[in-house]
Each structure stands twice: as structure tokens, then as C-alpha cells.
Amino acid sequence: MAINLDTKYENKLAVTIGGKDYDILLNDKFVYDTQHTVLVVNKLQDKLDKMSEDDFAKMSLEEQEKFADDIFADMRKEIVSFFDKFLGDSEGERLYKYYNEDTEALGYVLGQLNKLAGNKQKSHRANKRKEYMNNKR
């Protein structure tokens, strides 16, 4: 009797994002790119958050606006590119419009995908440990 190992490990996730259903493959590339994009976006957000009030006050209003606009544009570009890569061409921009042109909403969705991918990996490791312990008995 053959054991079907294909049924032992599931690395696909069905999600609805922006009113549309997607099947996401939680492979190494997805996990890496999700984590990488989250790190890049967080670093950009930190750049904005860590700007001291004194340094910000030294800028003209136009410079302050440009600085903040550039940070948000860079964050949006990173997240939109991620969604285009994994959900399909132009999906990142579609989602940006779906979420009322809100970069933070896109960041939230990205964060949730990152969390789901991490949970899936933790679940697989926990199952492997459980099987190992059961087999030792």
C-alpha cells in the first residue's frame, strides 16, 4: 500500500483580498519576499517616525511634505510590486484603488499575509514534532 505524501503537506492558502479570491503558494520565495517587503516597508516607516522634531522643524513646509510624500510613495511602490509579483500584473494598483488609495491598508494586508505564512510554517513544525514524539513511543 502506497502512502500519498502529497496529502501530508499542504502549502497553499486560499485568501480573499480586495474582493477577489486567490490561491497563494506558501513556498520559500513567497515567505522570503513577504518578509523582505515587510522589513523594507518597516525601515521606510522608521525613517519617517525617527525624524526628530527639530530636524523636521528645520525643513520648509514644502520640504516636509516632499519628505513624507517620498516615504509613502516608496512604501506603496514596494507593496504594489509585491502584490503584482504574487497576485498578478496590475493587482497591486487594483488593490491600492480598492482600499481607497490607502498605503497603510495595503501594509496591513501584507502584514496579515506575512503572519499567515509564518503561522503555516509554525504549524508544520509543530506537526512534525508531534509525529516524531508519537513515533518514539
Domain spans in the chain, listed from the N-terminal domain onward: 41-123
pLDDT for the residue 85: 96
Q: Which residues, at least 6 apart from 92, have a Cβ–Cβ distance to it below 8 Å?
A: 79, 80, 81, 82, 83, 84, 106
The cell for 85 is 509579483
* pLDDT given for residue 4 in this prediction: 78
Residue 121: per-residue pLDDT: 58
- pLDDT on residue 120: 64
Listed as ranges, residues in the chain with pLDDT below 50 are none
pLDDT score recorded for residue 54: 84
Looking at residue 132, its pLDDT comes to 58
Q: Are strands 12-17 and 20-25 parallel, antiparallel or unpaired?
A: antiparallel
Under a CB-based contact definition with an 8 Å cutoff, are residues 92 and 84 in contact?
yes
